[in-house]
Amino acid sequence: MLSKTFSVAINGIDANKIEIEVNATQQGEKSFVTIVGLPDTAVKESKERVRSALKSCGFKHPRGSTVINLAPADIKKEGAGFDLPIALGLVASTGLIKRDKLAKTILVGELALDGSVRPVKGMIPAGIAAKNDPNIEALLVPAANVEEAAIAADGLPVYPISTLADAVNYFTDDFTALPHIRNLEEFSIIDDAILARDFEDVKGQTVAKRALEVAAAGGHNLLMIGAPGTGKSMLAKRVPSILPPLQVEEALESSKIHSVMGLLPADTPFLKERPYRAPHHTISDAGLLGGQTIPKPGEITLAHNGVLFLDELPEFKRNVLEVLRQPLENGDVTISRAAGTFTFPARFMMLAAMNPCPCGHHGSMQRECRCSSHQIQRYRSKISGPLLDRIDIHVELTPLSDDELMSAPKGEKSCEIRKRVINARANQQKRFTGLGLYCNAQMEPAQIQKFCKLDLESQSYLRRSIKELQLSARAYDRILRVARTIADLEDSANIASQHIFEAVQYRDLDKRLW
């Protein structure tokens, strides 16, 4: 007897609806199961998990030869989430389930040998796929994933399933559990709670704090250069506390990425804070961009809508750093493999930190540098000019004085800085209405020409700076973007000479260090 159930397959960060056909002959004493439709090893092994789960829950496995087809056959199927729909298809082939109701339901879940249902990855893409299908009226998922799926389903009934028997009872009207129905509008992303890491804790480094405020306000990439112990990592970890809160669409997009990778905390089915990723410098280009046979998101995609912090920047392999150039420019990354071509979002704020030399004390008035000029040049040459051009702000951190080190922190609270950042972002949103831009860092040349007009004094100063610092055309555009952000922080409609002056100061390391 032929039966059909429906599930989803995760491809990249999206989910595709999968039709699962079960054709059981019901002839013979022994049962043979064949799964076709590009299944991976985990899917092929599901027949043994399903057989044990059926027996544990008191259901009979169809006798004879059974063929299970996962369609469309040209999409790779991976993971244990097909266990539950396959088991329901086998039960339906014996006539115990209402098929009309089965055709309007998507099922996802891994089965344990005793019939209990275990959580799986990718519930947010599954919920979105179910919501967007007009023929689907309900989604059955593991009980541990129900909140995650319900948020993404946005109004579609989502039922928690604890055992295989629960799933069968749903289709025989013996199911008593209530559906979880959630709407995205219910969730408030703005959280004014004081974060554990606050800018108030940072001693000194007034210039660096100001640069980070400007970077946060405009979404600019930033490079910190300073000796060990000057607070580079400490400052970077506190940047999320001054970034504007996630919009609902941004939160859903970032949550989907983390859901696919199984990185959503059990008690947090929906991201409410911007992601912060800090990969180790030994990471490969595949780990940073994404990869594997069936491409999975890398660190830059996990940092989407948040912060990517690269500490000890010159210690990263040069080929790894160079692959960042395209994502930094375009806000996405395209990966091609034999399984297909996938484009992942990668719109993030990049923070980087490095020492001025291998020992870290070049130019210090407190400790002598022991590096040769050749060692210093080789160390700095690991960062190419084109990559440096894509970093809007360069800031130098100096060691703390004795008085600063011994005194209590006197910095401004993150919540106060965040208010200015939010206000600056609001100015940008008004300016970019209908253009599809979120912040000044995303402006293209056409928008720069329109929104970054300079008076004669500013033009004269910028012209001299270009000659003295030997700035590239890309660096020129980035100075204008940063100046526009500084003006937004002051609620200024026009870019004034002081805004250009400050923006240029964030580029003067171009000539002094490279």
Does 270 share its domain with 164?
Answer: no
pLDDT of residue 114 exceeding 60: yes
Does 377 share its domain with 263?
Answer: yes
Nearest to 308 by CA among 256, 254, 352: 352
Query: Is 108 domain-assigned?
Result: yes
Q: Give the residue with greater pLDDT, 335 vs 27.
A: 335
Cα separation, 497 vs 352, whole angstroms = 28
Residue ranges of alpha helices (H) inside 156-247 are 164-171, 206-218, 232-238
Helix (H) or strand (E) run with residue 249 in it: helix 248-260
CATH of the domain at 264: 3.40.50.300
Does 167 share its domain with 274?
Answer: no
- The pLDDT, as a whole number, for residue 186 is 66
Does 231 share its domain with 88?
Answer: no
Is 239 in a helix, a strand, or coil?
A: helix
pLDDT of residue 89 exceeding 50: yes
Cα separation, 235 vs 413, whole angstroms = 13
Query: Is 321 domain-assigned?
Result: yes
Does 215 share its domain with 262?
Answer: yes
- The pLDDT, as a whole number, for residue 192 is 46
When pLDDT is cut at 50, 70 and 90, the band that residue 194 belongs to is very low
Residue with tokens 């947090």: 268
Query: Is 479 domain-assigned?
Result: no
The residue type of 208 is A
Average confidence (pLDDT) over 432-440: 87
pLDDT of residue 425 exceeding 80: yes
Query: Is 467 domain-assigned?
Result: no
Cα separation, 157 vs 101, whole angstroms = 14
Burial of 185 (0-12, 13-18, 19+ CB in 10 A): exposed
Does 261 share its domain with 400?
Answer: yes
Average confidence (pLDDT) over 390-411: 80
- Return the bridge partners of 99, or none: none
Domain that holds residue 153: 2-184
Could you tell me if 102 and 168 are in contact, meaning their C-beta atoms sit under 8 angstroms apart? no
pLDDT of residue 188 exceeding 70: no
Name the phi and psi angles at 372, rounded to 5: -80, 165
Most confident residue range from 207-211, 360-364, 379-383: 207-211
Helix (H) or strand (E) run with residue 34 in it: strand 31-36
Name the phi and psi angles at 18, rounded to 5: -120, 130
CB neighbours of 476 closer than 8 A, spacing ≥ 6? Answer: 462, 466
- Tokens in use for 161? 């399933």
Q: Give the residue with greater pLDDT, 138 vs 293.
A: 138
- The pLDDT, as a whole number, for residue 510 is 63
Q: Range with the lowest mean pLDDT among 86-100, 423-437, 462-476, 488-502?
A: 462-476
Cα separation, 313 vs 382, whole angstroms = 9
Average confidence (pLDDT) over 68-81: 91
Report the Cα 396 to chain-centroid distance in Å. 29
Does 250 share its domain with 310?
Answer: yes
Cα separation, 446 vs 345, whole angstroms = 23
pLDDT of residue 163 exceeding 70: yes
Mean of pLDDT over the chain: 88
Q: Give the residue with greater pLDDT, 435 vs 26.
A: 435
- The pLDDT, as a whole number, for residue 17 is 95
User: What is the secondary structure of 276-336 as a DSSP string?
Assistant: EE---TT--HHHHHEETTTTEE-HHHHTTTSEEEESSGGGS-HHHHHTTHHHHHHSEEEEE
Q: Give the residue with greater pLDDT, 363 vs 238.
A: 238
Q: What angle do CA 427, 430, 434 make, to 5 degrees?
A: 145
pLDDT of residue 138 exceeding 50: yes
Could you tell me if 100 and 122 are in contact, meaning their C-beta atoms sit under 8 angstroms apart? no
Domain boundary, last residue among 184, 208, 232: 184
Does 106 share its domain with 250?
Answer: no
Domain boundary, last residue among 372, 405, 431: 431
pLDDT of residue 505 exceeding 60: yes
Could you tell me if 246 and 254 are in contact, meaning their C-beta atoms sit under 8 angstroms apart? yes
Does 147 share its domain with 206?
Answer: no
Query: Is 507 domain-assigned?
Result: no
Residue ranges of alpha helices (H) inside 346-472 are 373-380, 385-389, 402-406, 414-431, 445-451, 456-469
- The pLDDT, as a whole number, for residue 127 is 94
When pLDDT is cut at 50, 70 and 90, the band that residue 189 belongs to is low
pLDDT of residue 190 exceeding 70: no
Does 35 share its domain with 97?
Answer: yes
CATH of the domain at 57: 3.30.230.10
pLDDT of residue 29 exceeding 90: no
Q: Range with the lowest mean pLDDT among 16-25, 179-188, 284-293, 326-335?
A: 179-188
Indicate the Cα dihedral angle 28, 34, 37, 39, nearest 10°: 150
Nearest to 64 by CA among 99, 25, 38: 25
Q: What is the pLDDT of residues 295-318, one digit of tens each?
A: 889 999 999 999 999 999 999 998
Average confidence (pLDDT) over 95-112: 90
- The pLDDT, as a whole number, for residue 472 is 79
Query: Is 337 domain-assigned?
Result: yes
Is 77 in a helix, a strand, or coil?
A: strand
State the pairing for strand pair 332-337/296-297.
unpaired
Does 178 share its domain with 280?
Answer: no
When pLDDT is cut at 50, 70 and 90, the band that residue 191 belongs to is low
Does 346 share its domain with 403?
Answer: yes
Query: Is 162 domain-assigned?
Result: yes
Q: What is the pLDDT of residues 446-470, one digit of tens each?
A: 999 899 988 888 888 888 888 887 8
- The pLDDT, as a whole number, for residue 508 is 63
- Tokens in use for 27? 């002839």
Cα separation, 380 vs 399, whole angstroms = 20
- The pLDDT, as a whole number, for residue 132 is 93
Query: Is 243 domain-assigned?
Result: yes
- Tokens in use for 288? 């940073």
Domain boundary, last residue among 431, 465, 483: 431
- The pLDDT, as a whole number, for residue 195 is 61
State the pairing for strand pair 2-11/14-24.
antiparallel
Average confidence (pLDDT) over 195-214: 86
Q: Give the residue with greater pLDDT, 66 vs 294.
A: 66
Q: Is the dihedral of CA 431, 437, 441, 443 positive or negative?
A: negative
- The pLDDT, as a whole number, for residue 84 is 96
Q: How many domains does the chain have?
A: 2
